[in-house]
Chain A
Amino acid sequence: MLSLVHLTKEYGKTRVVDDITLDIESGTTFGFLGPNGAGKTTTIKMIVGLSHPSAGTVNINCGDPRDKSVRERIGFMPEDPYFYDHLTGSEFLSFCANLFPKKSPRKHSDILKSVGMFEYRNQPIYTYSKGMKQRLGLAQALVNDPQYLFLDEPLDGLDPIGRAEIKKVLLELKKRKKTIFLNSHILSDVEEICDEIGIINKGKLIFSGKVKEFCDGKNLESRFVDVINQDNKS
């Protein structure tokens, strides 16, 4: 289970994430939505232990994400990922895999094939397009076969074929009961993939629950726009 308890982040006097409390059951695919600058990326960085909360706690399976033992079970893909230019995709994947004490049962070739990067594996990363880096970003997050997966805009910058491939990977992970937490702007995809969503606006969590419950017969995008506009007015 993933628990955020009164999670807060302040930069000087600006509160970027404001007292978020949220529980996500294991095996849930959770979409974290919000307009630009709402605090999504800051939240995900605190969840994976890259950023220190000003207040509150993050628990992943009752453990602190800054503990190595917890990080062994998580995978993280940052937004707009950038890697070591002079390595090949395959070398980068091996580098990431070697940082884990236990060898994952998943073969690198299978991971690369699943994200559509197998044929480019021996090319240096500086020759990759944005979409290819995005796919490699997902591949490195899967390299330890994590139980918890945190993805920051995983579908950003992908062409329709790439998006379909990545969605297929995510749906397969969902079938394997992985806990997936993803930030995304592409609401149609979130609607298709996620069981639950959380909506953050100006740092505050304004909704969390089932996608169907939130949509209430409408599509996610129009409901999202209504809710954000309503929240901005209030």
Chain B
Amino acid sequence: MRNIFVVAQNTFKEAIRDKILYVILGFAALFILSTIFFGSISLGEDIKVIKDFGLAGIYLFSLLVTIFVGASLIYKEIEKRTLYVVLSKPISHAEFIIGKFIGLYLSVFISTVLMTLVYLVVVAAKGGGFDAPALIAILLQFFEIAIFVALMILFSTFSTPIASTVYAILILYIGHSLDLILKYAQKHENLSLYFVKTIYYILPNLEKFNVRNLVVHHIYPSGASVGYSFLYAVLYSTILLILATWKLKHEDL
């Protein structure tokens, strides 16, 4: 446990001292502020537009933080041999991977909290009051980000930062389209339903975490549904981290 904390603290420190994080956060703040303009050119729907764009912006910029900070996380340590120093100490591969996960997740979490604060201020300033429902969407986004962070860590154990980014974005895209793909396969017999179902159950179903459009229209997920999404995220992230640990353990450094 102690080693996990030590690695997490170190990863977090490294991440928050990286200038790229502040560049992304700067652009995120600009984007969220610019929703005021998008709102002003809509026809009486300014609050709805601000919420739509604002929540989408928070999601996209959280992904960008994960990609830029996470893609090279393990790969850089192997390439530059920092890992030699760390793994020659009494620390297990699992402690190292979990520590990296927590450190990176924490930096994305704090970045997202900062973006959320800017968003809440913008919505309140435009007369939308305190947008509490948005917090449900952000909470579910945190669950999704956990899976994405774990994915980035897994990919960075065996591929370059660019390849990791491409793989993660592909999975992200497919993960949000799984329900559509399954429905399509069920309607069209020429597509192997068995194959599509296999993909459906193997890849993460990320659309479970997307309630942004719903909360903007005042439709809220049930507590049970949020709890189920939480368990799904925990289970999926755990499996990914176990795979990452296995890969690192069998990596000939």
Binding site for B on A (CB under 8 A): 11, 45, 48-52, 68-69, 71-72, 74, 76-87, 91, 95-96, 98-101, 124, 137, 140, 144
A100 touches B89 (CB 8 A): yes
Contacts A86-B17, A87-B10, A95-B10; A49 near B90 (Cβ below 8 A): no
* Residue in B closest to A49 when the chains form the complex, CB atoms: B88
A87 touches B13 (CB 8 A): yes
- Whole-angstrom CA separation of A95 from B6 in the bound complex: 7
* Residue in B closest to A143 when the chains form the complex, CB atoms: B89
B82 within 8 A of partner (CB): yes
- Whole-angstrom CA separation of A81 from B82 in the bound complex: 7
* Residue in B closest to A126 when the chains form the complex, CB atoms: B17
Measured between beta carbons, the chain B residues less than 8 angstroms from A100 are 89-90
B219 within 8 A of partner (CB): no
A101 touches B90 (CB 8 A): yes
Measured between beta carbons, the chain A residues less than 8 angstroms from B187 are none
A83 touches B84 (CB 8 A): no
A74 touches B82 (CB 8 A): no
Measured between beta carbons, the chain B residues less than 8 angstroms from A71 are 88-90
- Residues 75 to 93 of chain B near chain A (Cβ within 8 Å): 80-82, 84-92
A101 touches B2 (CB 8 A): yes
B252 touches A99 (CB 8 A): no
Measured between beta carbons, the chain A residues less than 8 angstroms from B45 are none
- Whole-angstrom CA separation of A182 from B97 in the bound complex: 30
Most buried by B among A50, A68, A80, A137: A50
Given pairs A77-B85, A83-B85, 20 additional interface contacts (CB within 8 A): A45-B84, A48-B88, A50-B253, A51-B252, A76-B84, A78-B81, A78-B85, A81-B84, A82-B80, A82-B81, A86-B17, A86-B18, A87-B17, A96-B85, A96-B86, A98-B6, A99-B6, A100-B89, A101-B90, A144-B89
* Residue in B closest to A140 when the chains form the complex, CB atoms: B85
Partner of A76, one of B6, B14, B88, B92: B88
- Whole-angstrom CA separation of A7 from B14 in the bound complex: 38
Measured between beta carbons, the chain B residues less than 8 angstroms from A85 are 14
- Whole-angstrom CA separation of A101 from B89 in the bound complex: 10
A72 touches B90 (CB 8 A): yes
The contact sample of 30 A-B pairs, CB cut-off 8 A, is A11-B252, A45-B253, A48-B88, A49-B87, A50-B88, A69-B90, A71-B88, A76-B84, A77-B85, A78-B81, A79-B81, A81-B81, A82-B82, A84-B10, A84-B14, A84-B82, A86-B17, A87-B14, A87-B17, A95-B6, A95-B10, A96-B89, A98-B2, A99-B6, A99-B86, A100-B89, A100-B90, A137-B85, A140-B85, A144-B89
B177 within 8 A of partner (CB): no
Measured between beta carbons, the chain B residues less than 8 angstroms from A69 are 90
Measured between beta carbons, the chain A residues less than 8 angstroms from B86 are 96, 99
- Whole-angstrom CA separation of A45 from B89 in the bound complex: 13
B3 within 8 A of partner (CB): yes
Measured between beta carbons, the chain A residues less than 8 angstroms from B82 are 82-84
B177 to chain A, nearest CB (A): 37
- Whole-angstrom CA separation of A123 from B100 in the bound complex: 24
Top 7 nearest A-B pairs (CB, nearest first) are A86-B17, A76-B88, A82-B80, A68-B90, A78-B84, A99-B89, A71-B90
Measured between beta carbons, the chain A residues less than 8 angstroms from B88 are 48-50, 71, 74, 76
Measured between beta carbons, the chain B residues less than 8 angstroms from A91 are 13
* Residue in A closest to B89 when the chains form the complex, CB atoms: A99
- Whole-angstrom CA separation of A79 from B81 in the bound complex: 9
